[in-house]
Structure 1
Amino acid sequence: MNKMSPIQVSVKTTYIAAQSEPLVHRYVYAYTITIANQGDVAAQLISRHWLITDANEKRQEVQGIGVVGEQPHIKPGESYTYTSGVILETETGIMEGSYQMRADDGSMFDATIPTFALVPPHAIH
């Protein structure tokens, strides 16, 4: 399916210094995702698929039902926001993925999660 997804995904990341332990290669990030339905049919988020890559090219693949224990139903013109987290073994990394959505007309489609960087504030120049 090559048409533009009616779902727009935006991301904000936060480095959680208080939970990170650089000496033991533990870097904790929170990410807040807003999923906006810019189409004309309501859709439900069914599942998620993440690819998480750290600075050593170590990849984690995460798949699961819903997000933060929910399968939100998003009406046209509305959005759903949630916050989750990830732990990396390196100071920086990237995440990308997709949400599998079911429109109220029964059709299934993927909403792409744009690739985003996980970078602590002191590493941004």
Structure 2
Amino acid sequence: MPQTPPPLSITVSVSFQSDSSQVERGDYRFSYRIRITNTATMAVQIVGRHWLIHNAHGEQQEVHGLGVVGQQPLLAVGETFEYTSGCHLSTATGTMQGRYLCVTETAEAFECPIPLFELNAQGHTTPTPVWPDEPADPAQRVLH
């Protein structure tokens, strides 16, 4: 049976922040930029997130919270929301993955997975892409 694609398209780019890291103390800082596009057939609001962050020693950190970067964006069909955030690790490499907690305009709750991505301070950073400004600010609209 074919699997239904998630109603949100998520792309991530990661950058190691060498100028704010303290490598000699085991403090590696990363920024990541996430672009979320609503590929569903109705409006979707992101109301929460859950992250699993692993360092190279297999230690895990969990992060739960409402919205993303203090906002609960409402995305109309085809609309995009992007934000930049960050994390720090005690090792030069690690991974992040998670899920967004969402609700549709018909009050159906669902989770959308955030695919695993790599954090790597050893010269393998992905430049943060520059996307054109969106015409409307979806973070300012509220569905509930």
Same fold (TM over 0.5): yes
Q: What whole-Å deviation, never above 9, does each CA across 1:80-115 have from its counterpart, x for those lacking one?
A: 000000010000000000000000011011111010
Q: In 2 relative to 1, CA 86–40 (structure 1 residues): closer, same or farther, beyond 3 Å?
A: same
CA distance in 2, matches of 1:121, 1:74: 36
What TM-score does the superposition give when structure 1 sets the normalisation length?
0.94
What TM-score does the superposition give when structure 2 sets the normalisation length?
0.82
The alpha-carbon deviation at position 122 of structure 1 amounts to: 2.0
Give the letter aligned to residue 45 of structure 1.
I
Q: What whole-Å deviation, never above 9, does each CA across 1:7-29 have from its counterpart, x for those lacking one?
A: 11110001000001111000000
Aligned to 1:17, the other structure's residue is in SS state coil
User: Which residue of the partner structure matches residue 57 of structure 1?
Assistant: 58
* Number of residue pairs the alignment of both structures matches: 123
Aligned pairs for 1:24-103 within 5 A: 24-103=25-104
Aligned residues of 1:8 and 1:111 also touching (Cα < 8 A): no
Q: RMSD between aligned alpha carbons?
A: 1.3
Runs of 5+ consecutive residues of structure 1 not aligned to the other structure: none
The alpha-carbon deviation at position 73 of structure 1 amounts to: 0.2
Aligned residues of 1:52 and 1:59 also touching (Cα < 8 A): yes
Q: What whole-Å deviation, never above 9, does each CA across 1:45-104 have from its counterpart, x for those lacking one?
A: 010000000001010000000111100001101110000000100000000000000000
User: Which residue of the partner structure matches residue 22 of structure 1?
Assistant: 23
Give the fraction of aligned pairs with identical amino acids, expressed as a percent: 36
CA distance in 1, matches of 2:26, 2:51: 21
Name the structure with the higher strand share: 1
